[in-house]
Amino acid sequence: MGANFGEHISVDLTPFLAEALATNKALHSEIDRLYQKDKTRYYELAKHSPWYEHSFLTSTSLKTEVYARRALGLLAGLGTPQVVSLLKKGWPWVYKLVSKASSVKADLIQRAIPKSQRDSLTDDEFGGYVVVGLVLGRLLDKAISTDTDTTAICQMLWGRLDHAAGEMRFDYKKIVEERYQEREDARRLTQEVQAASNISPRKGLGILSDTTHPEATAWRIAFEFVFDSEGLAESILDDAPLSEEHLESIAAIYNMCFPDKGTSQAIEFHVAAIYVKRLLVAYRQVKQTFWANAAEVLYPELNNLTQEVAKLREEHTRLAQENVVLREQNAQLQKLAYSEYNRARAESRDAIHQLSAEVGQLKAQVEADRREMAALREMFFDLSKETNVVAISPETDPAPYLANLRGVRGLIVGGHERWQQRMKALLPHFTFIHTDVLNFDPQLIVGVDVVFVHCGYVSHAFYHKVMSALRSYPDVALHYLHGTNPLRILKEMSAAVARA
């Protein structure tokens, strides 16, 4: 899906259209509806798109990336009339103007934007109007103008792709490889900042904890309050330590943007940049974890399991039919084949029982996987909207949440030992298992209504043992906890029990 502007300019509009669909919130429900009709096929089509892993789409927010990837599958799998219909729903005025015009040009796209919105449009929204106008022109067999303004639009799109591919982005690795003096200046500033403030990546997660510089300390405390204001602990950055090269890249940015400023201001900048960089690293890890466990990724696996179960059922039917034939033959042969009949019948019954047992096990496994996947999806959805969560004051009364949990027979697994001690004081009737207790008795799950897994502090071996034990108890609900604030945790648990 491309557009040509003269002899020398050609742009593939697919990634821009996927972005436009993803950022048009009014179309999200329609995208979901279409995608669910044949989600496995659309997922496979999107996965094979050259834009699926391209930074143009993966450098966005998690929600935008989800819808952009779904849009890639729809654009590859839907017919032209369906794509036109989808764009018409999202940009009705653009469709109206393009369908009546003989050609598509920049001034037509400008007229398609309502006057009341022109001053308030975001870059993504404006880009959506431009791209949809060009794509509708192509799909409706309209000529694309090669005038100066329209060609400039195409060049702008081309430039965005270059930027996303790293051609125009800041890249410290290029400085290290190509620009010796900038590299040395960055390293020199890094050493000065570390010497003056005791900020060092060698301290790991405590990179800022031992700073002795008064301004650095003040900035660090200020950022701690920022975390408090959202009801989050700095421990959400525990999986995002920084290296010496990270600090050098921060210094290089400071030298580039503030060449005339001193070391003291560089220290302040470093504190802020360290928090931002660690948050970005942590957010990238969250996105990677999400995609490793997202429903789209599991669609092919679930589809294969369904096909395997269908084959087993067919085999079961075939064996049952063969058993009927054997019975008829046995009736005809009577006493002559009586002993052979008993042997064949016994073998057939064993095969049927074995296949039935295997089918039952597969159904239980699929159901357990669905339960685990639903809990994981719920957790990652909650993580993706963390920034919209209102902070809970320490003075908040926990009584309503405790009342909702009073009659619940619960089991909490994982979580730091200190955190478990705090929660035991609030929920003395709950059972707790620490993540180091790998040889716990699975019988602890007997009689439990719900199992809560604290995903912020749990080992892989312990997690897999818990999931294995839960497969034997399909009626026990499963939910995931994150964070360490007791009130937040009680609220999450209360909400989870209410949904059950």
471 burial level (CB within 10 Å; 0-12, 13-18, 19+): middle
DSSP 46-105: HHTSTTTT-HHHHTS-HHHHHHHHHHHHHHHHS-HHHHHHHHHHH-HHHHHHHHH-SEE-
Which of the pair, 337 or 97, is modelled with greater confidence? 97
What DSSP state is assigned to residue 202? G
Range with lowest mean pLDDT among 131-145, 228-242, 269-283: 228-242
Burial 236-265 (b: 16+ CB within 10 A, else e): bbeebebeeebbbbbbbebbeeeeeeeeee
Q: At residue 7, does pLDDT exceed 60?
A: no
Domain of 447, CATH number, reads 3.40.50.10700
Last residue of a domain, one of 340, 360, 386: 386
Backbone Cα Rg of the chain: 30
CA distances from 54 to 46, 139, 171 (A): 12, 25, 17
Range with lowest mean pLDDT among 71-80, 120-129, 402-411: 120-129
Percent of the chain at pLDDT exceeding 70: 83
Residues 45 and 179 in one domain: no
Mean pLDDT on 204-226: 80
Last residue of a domain, one of 164, 186, 217: 164
Residue with tokens 């220290």: 267
Range with lowest mean pLDDT among 80-94, 186-200, 447-461: 186-200
Mean pLDDT on 277-281: 86
Q: Hey, which residues does 143 pair with through a beta bridge? A: 103
Q: Could you read off the pLDDT of 339-398 as tens digits, one per residue? A: 776 776 777 677 667 766 665 666 666 665 676 665 565 665 565 555 444 445 566 788
* Structural domains in the chain (count): 4
pLDDT of residue 489: 92
Residues 340 and 441 in one domain: no
Q: Could you read off the pLDDT of 415-474 as tens digits, one per residue? A: 999 999 999 999 999 999 998 888 889 899 999 999 999 988 888 889 899 988 888 888
Mean pLDDT on 30-59: 89
Instruction: Write the CB contacts of 271 (distance below 8 Å, at least 6 apart in sequence).
Output: 199, 208, 211, 216, 219, 220, 223
pLDDT of residue 388: 44
For 144, the enclosing helix (H) or strand (E) is strand 143-144
Residues 51 and 140 in one domain: yes
Residues 342 and 419 in one domain: no
Burial 341-370 (b: 16+ CB within 10 A, else e): beebeeebeeeeeeeeeebeeeeeeeebbe
d(CA 57, CA 75): 15
pLDDT of residue 112: 80
- Residue 164 tokens read as 């996303």
Residues 126 and 224 in one domain: no
Nearest to 16 by CA among 158, 166, 179: 158
Owning domain of residue 33: 2-164
Q: Which amino acid type is present at position 494? A: S
Question: Contacts by 370-378 with C-beta closer than 8 Å and gap 24+?
Answer: 371/470, 371/474, 371/478, 372/467, 372/470, 372/478, 373/293, 373/295, 373/298, 375/453, 375/478, 375/479, 375/480, 376/293, 376/480, 377/293, 377/294, 377/295, 378/479, 378/480
Q: Helices marked H in 119-171 — which ranges?
A: 123-139, 148-164
Q: Could you read off the pLDDT of 88-107 as tens digits, one per residue? A: 999 998 899 888 888 888 88
pLDDT, mean over the chain: 81
Residues 179 and 287 in one domain: yes
Nearest to 5 by CA among 114, 181, 155: 155
Residues 39 and 129 in one domain: yes
Residues 272 and 299 in one domain: no
β-pair type (9-12, 477-481): unpaired
Q: Helices marked H in 140-201 — which ranges?
A: 148-164, 172-178, 180-197
Residues 135 and 227 in one domain: no
Residues 404 and 414 in one domain: yes
Residues 201 and 131 in one domain: no
Mean pLDDT on 183-201: 84
Last residue of a domain, one of 237, 267, 293: 293
Residues 300 and 289 in one domain: no
